[in-house]
Structure 1
Amino acid sequence: MHAIQTSGNCIRNVTADQFSGVAADEVEDARPWCEIIRQWSTFHPEFAFLPRKFKIAVCGSEQDRAAVMVHDIGLQIVKDPEGNTAFKVIVGGGLGRTPVIGSVIHDALPPQHLLTYLEAIVRVYNQLGRRDNKFKARIKILVRAMGADAFKAKVEEEWAFIKDGQLSLPEEEVARAKSFFTAPDYLALQNEDLQAVALESPAFARWLAHNVHAHKQDGYAIVTLSLKTTGVAPGDITAEQFVAVANLAEEYGFGEARSTHQQNMVLPDVQQKQLFSLWQRLESLELASPTVGTMNDIICCPGGDFCSLANAKSIPIAEAIQRRFDDLDYLYDLGEIELNISGCMNACGHHHIGNIGILGVDKKGQEFYQVSLGGSQGLNASLGKILGPSFAQEDIPDVIEKILNCYVERRQPDEDFLDTFNRIGLEPFKERVYA
């Protein structure tokens, strides 16, 4: 993360999967490619005044954790038929007032052409994107107006002029970028059997099941620190906790801590045999809520409490939901549910791609909340469908409870919320809520 080009109509901070470099399902580390893109885009003289802000995400894992389908450009690292690194290029995604799922315009771009192809995409956008209306200036509007095939044809036409030019990536430049992201000095460890410890401590077992993730190095684990304590704004961390996390990163890893777009933090390299000790420390810091991946792992924008753009408050809604559904066994029985809250149509809380999305709206000076269902991020991303008329703030916990009751009654064995919604559709939920 850097503070260059953070607010202008330019290419902003390039983002990646929070597990990059350590994920067990990783195809290739995304971080070197992010660094190459960062160096290309920073102070780019041609792209300093684009029609609107521009965001790029890169994911190098089988499971998309970087939301590549809803960025201006999303890059998914894949392997071509010969087993070589390539990029699936997705263009024109975005949320906000006009939510759009991106379109694939290249299935397997060779890495030596990465920057030339990106240059062609942004150049076409810079030339043809609207500048008369900021609400219609993002690349998603251009791609949708032209159609993905026509946009791709225009990119390919521009690309032909620069494909083999100065921006072609030689292997030594890729190797230089990769040299910045070498593996730390892992010990030669065996995977630990923590079942006996988990049986002695049910609380540790819950945390182990939900907050600890598979690492590609034997004997190590990835740990997500939950910043979703009930009564605290989701994603908030105190100065004292932050200092403590820095110390834990040194003591239980290689001095690295990461931030996630789910508003949590990650310690990427924890020895499995130290997990119980780390959990005890996190418990004392109130950073060990075993709710990662559950409905109470809420993504929530600052809302009307802090943001001058918001139509309604977000943080009290998150707290009300967390307090209503505080039974861990019930949350675990529900399975993975992504609940996202935005205080206005700018969609900073990504409500469009929440399995359950909540949007604050203004109705004659009063704060109301619109609910949508069926959104999802990932490579099969989908946009939520609006349930119906909006609700008063005090009604939201009851609305969520009716939605969950409908899901529990209608789901099939081992079926998660999104699968149930896709199978039965919106109407059963709508009938239950508005009955």
Structure 2
Amino acid sequence: MYRYNEFDKAFLARRAAQFRDQIERWQSGKLSEAEFLPLRLQNGWYVQRHAPMLRVAVPYGELSSAQLRVLARVAREYDEPHADVYRGALEAQRKLGTVRLPTHQAHFTTRTNVQFNWIPLSKAADVMDLLATVDMHGIQTSGNCIRNISCDERAGVAPDEIADPRPFAEIMRQWTTLHPEFAFLPRKFKIAISGAKEDRAATGWHDVGLRLVRDESGELGFRVSVGGGMGRTPVIGIVLREFLPWRHIMNYIEAVVRVYNQYGRRDNKFKARIKILAKAEGQRFIDEVDDEFRQIVEVDGGPHTIPQAEFDRISTFFVVPPQADACRPSDATAAAALHAASLQTPQLQRWLERNVAPHKDPSMRIVTLSFKRLLQAPGDATADQLERVAELVDRFSAGEARVTHTQNIVLPWVHVDDLQPLWHAASAMQLASTNVHLLTDMISCPGGDFCALANARSLPIAQSIMERYQDLDELNDIGEIDLHISGCINSCGHHHSGHIGILGVDKDGEEWYQVTLGGTDGSARSGDARPGKVIGPSFAAHEVTDAVDAVLQRYLALREHRGERCETFIETVHRVGLEPFKAAADSVRATAEDIA
């Protein structure tokens, strides 16, 4: 992991002190609400439906055990609203059918950040001071700037990796932080980097998506796509460069952003994302970027070219941790013992199959801890759970964890001979759910229970589906499937990329839900990234779970066997089209109308 130096630490301390002064001036009336708004946003502080919300940056998803413990402390000591606010919020939700608004916990987002929903602004400065002690902050987690750069959660450890993307992500993080060219863009701007053959970072869905590749001579570079995004207009990014030498990646991003800054719309925030500009201008946009890049490199001398020495310096932070490099039993001995144990314990065998992935080091594995279970919203982690994860991370993963864009936690440095002890420990902590990549391993935004932008609640829908599908044998028979839920068109729940997507919409003040099918994020399980398509009119809240069930039953009837395995849901959808599933979902609506 990257370690902050004295300059980094001093910068964060000064930034926290500056924010404390800004809060005090706002509280005393020296700063108006309008003046304070951009200042708090620049530090990751929003005001949501019931209370302020803090978004903490987790660059490229990496967390240390020390950072997990501080996040747990923030949740326990600060994530609790004033009693009157909480009671009022509970009463409002009871009227809508929700009886749980949890506090004392964090929420992992699809952008691998961490959010807190109940910290009063009067305590904001204390929280920022505490976060700074472990090199954490909220800088550039909001506003019209380059946001937190995300990566594949298996970066540096995946067997299919071409090159580790984390050094590039860290160099770009430092370069983009408070860069004047990037501070006041027409709209927010998101970058994702993948260094593997499989795109586990959903790069096609980002404003800039970067894939590390090698050319015919073996030279390392980037495949660059621009203009991806979700929201009101789901678009997959267009490839601007099939191969860009790695040293020039920041020069090229500078060219992209300059063109965006010059031509991007600022009069309509719904048309201000770079995807709108790239789609509207087509080849002209590509030509403008190429011209700007040529100017930066040939005329200006390529001021942002990455020197080899700087790349080597940053790369020294991203090596195998000493704790993970200790001498262990032979690979064959450890694997044989584990296999024998799994034959005696079906639960362990299922966990190994579902939650454990290969590692580039044959003596190690990558382990996913799923937080998806009944009475716990997707992405939520209590203060106790965060501390327990920190214990597991210290004991089994060399003090390092990763946040995934599917709202889980990955332990990247687990030795094969530690897998069984890890399973026992995680099971005792109720952190060993074996639903990874299955239906209940769903993605969901906080929705209308918390977010002021939401048109509908996401969490009750997620819980209803979770309650319906508790049988692990049934889930495994259905197979791998991505279910994504968003409470509004902003798509924080990534519903567009779900094999099944659910979008909350408002109809005359009532909550309704559109269902989309066939979306993908670009991973090997799903194929090339593409947006899902809506299947007919929206459903009332009480119909959604039945509609999902009807779609899945139709899939089970239609799927084909492919050798020793069954066709997956997304394969069936792509083969037969949407009509059979639309008819199945429509039958739910028709039945509800008959009953009414």
Which is greater in Rg?
2
Q: Which moved more, 1:193-202 or 1:56-65?
A: 193-202
2:457 to 310, 313, 324: 313
SS at match of 1:382: coil
Deviation at 1:288, TM superposition (A): 0.7
Deviation at 1:188, TM superposition (A): 4.9
Q: Does 1:322 align with 2:469?
A: no
Q: Tell me the equivalent position of 1:248.
A: 392
Quick one: which amino acid aligns to residue 293 of structure 2? W
Counterparts of 1:46-57 in structure 2, within 5 Å, are 46-57=181-192
For each residue in 1:370-409, what CA deviation from the matched residue of structure 2 results, as whole angstroms up to 9, or x when unmatched? 1000000016101000011111111112111110111111
Q: Does 1:70 align with 2:202?
A: no
Deviation at 1:165, TM superposition (A): 2.1
Q: Tell me the equivalent position of 1:432.
A: 584
Deviation at 1:90, TM superposition (A): 0.7
2:326 to 187, 192, 201: 187
Deviation at 1:140, TM superposition (A): 0.3
TM-score normalized by the length of structure 1 = 0.98
Q: Which moved more, 1:94-103 or 1:167-176?
A: 167-176
Q: Tell me the equivalent position of 2:532.
A: 384
Distance in 1 between the 2:379 and 2:431 partners? 11
Counterparts of 1:228-307 in structure 2, within 5 Å, are 228-307=372-451
Distance in 1 between the 2:484 and 2:511 partners? 17
Counterparts of 1:17-28 in structure 2, within 5 Å, are 17-28=152-163
Q: Does 1:175 align with 2:312?
A: yes
Deviation at 1:57, TM superposition (A): 0.6
Deviation at 1:255, TM superposition (A): 0.5
Distance in 2 between the 1:68 and 1:188 partners? 37
Contact conserved, 2:401 with 2:409, CA < 8 A, in 1? yes
1:29 to 164, 172, 175: 164
Distance in 1 between the 2:557 and 2:302 partners? 60
For each residue in 1:348-385, what CA deviation from the matched residue of structure 2 results, as whole angstroms up to 9, or x when unmatched? 00000000000011111111111000000016101000
Distance in 1 between the 2:428 and 2:327 partners? 30
Q: Does 1:342 align with 2:494?
A: no
Contact conserved, 1:371 with 1:387, CA < 8 A, in 2? yes
Q: Does 1:393 align with 2:541?
A: yes
Q: Does 1:199 align with 2:343?
A: yes
Contact conserved, 1:252 with 1:269, CA < 8 A, in 2? yes
Contact conserved, 1:229 with 1:287, CA < 8 A, in 2? no
Contact conserved, 2:499 with 2:518, CA < 8 A, in 1? yes
Distance in 1 between the 2:265 and 2:359 partners? 44
Contact conserved, 1:95 with 1:352, CA < 8 A, in 2? yes
Quick one: which amino acid aligns to residue 410 of structure 1? L
Deviation at 1:215, TM superposition (A): 0.8
Distance in 2 between the 1:68 and 1:316 partners? 30
More helix by share: 2
1:98 to 214, 226, 233: 233
Distance in 1 between the 2:201 and 2:159 partners? 16
Deviation at 1:187, TM superposition (A): 3.3
Q: Which moved more, 1:252-261 or 1:2-11?
A: 2-11
Distance in 2 between the 1:343 and 1:242 partners? 26
Quick one: which amino acid aligns to residue 242 of structure 1? L
SS at match of 1:223: strand
SS at match of 2:372: coil
Paired residue total: 434
TM-score normalized by the length of structure 2 = 0.72
Q: Tell me the equivalent position of 1:156.
A: 290
Q: Tell me the equivalent position of 1:165.
A: 302
With a CA cutoff of 8 Å and minimum separation of 6, indicate the structure with the bigger relative contact order: 2
Q: Tell me the equivalent position of 1:423.
A: 575
Contact conserved, 2:392 with 2:426, CA < 8 A, in 1? no
CA-based RMSD:
1.1
Deviation at 1:25, TM superposition (A): 1.4
Distance in 1 between the 2:290 and 2:248 partners? 12
Q: Tell me the equivalent position of 2:516.
A: 372
Distance in 2 between the 1:26 and 1:165 partners? 28
Quick one: which amino acid aligns to residue 586 of structure 2? Y
Contact conserved, 1:229 with 1:286, CA < 8 A, in 2? no
Deviation at 1:150, TM superposition (A): 2.2
SS at match of 1:400: helix
User: Structure 2: any 5+ residue segments left out of the alignment?
Assistant: 1-57, 59-136, 588-596
Counterparts of 1:109-148 in structure 2, within 5 Å, are 109-147=244-282
